[in-house]
């Protein structure tokens, strides 16, 4: 095979590889976000359940409006 064709072939291979990596990274990000959302929802549901079981409905209400308080409760219940 002549040098020019080898160069074109190599450049095409590299472009295909780069495009595949980009697609893979984008898919990986989507999967990671989906997993993170699911985990976050599970933690929030666990906190909700525990607060209700402990009769702390007012704390639950406050946690829905105050992120710092929510984090404090998550730490208190050792969920994070």
Residue 7 is predicted with a pLDDT of 82
Q: Give CA 13 to chain center in angstroms.
A: 32
Q: Give the rounded percent of residues in the chain with a pLDDT score beyond 70.
A: 99
Over residues 39-78, the pLDDT tens digits come to 999 999 999 999 999 999 999 999 999 999 999 999 999 9
pTM, two decimals, is 0.69
Measure Cα distances from 80 to 46, 57, 62 in Å: 11, 20, 18
Sorted by sequence, the CB contacts under 8 Å of residue 46 that are 6+ apart come out as 77, 79
């Amino acid at each position: 095979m002549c040098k020019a064709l080898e160069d074109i072939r190599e450049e095409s291979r590299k472009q295909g590889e780069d495009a595949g990596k980009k697609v893979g990274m984008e898919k990986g990000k989507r999967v990671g976000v989906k997993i993170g959302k699911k985990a976050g929802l599970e933690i929030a549901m666990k906190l909700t359940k525990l607060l209700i079981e402990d009769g702390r409905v007012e704390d639950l209400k406050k946690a829905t409006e105050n992120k710092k308080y929510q984090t404090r409760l998550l730490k208190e219940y050792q969920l994070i």
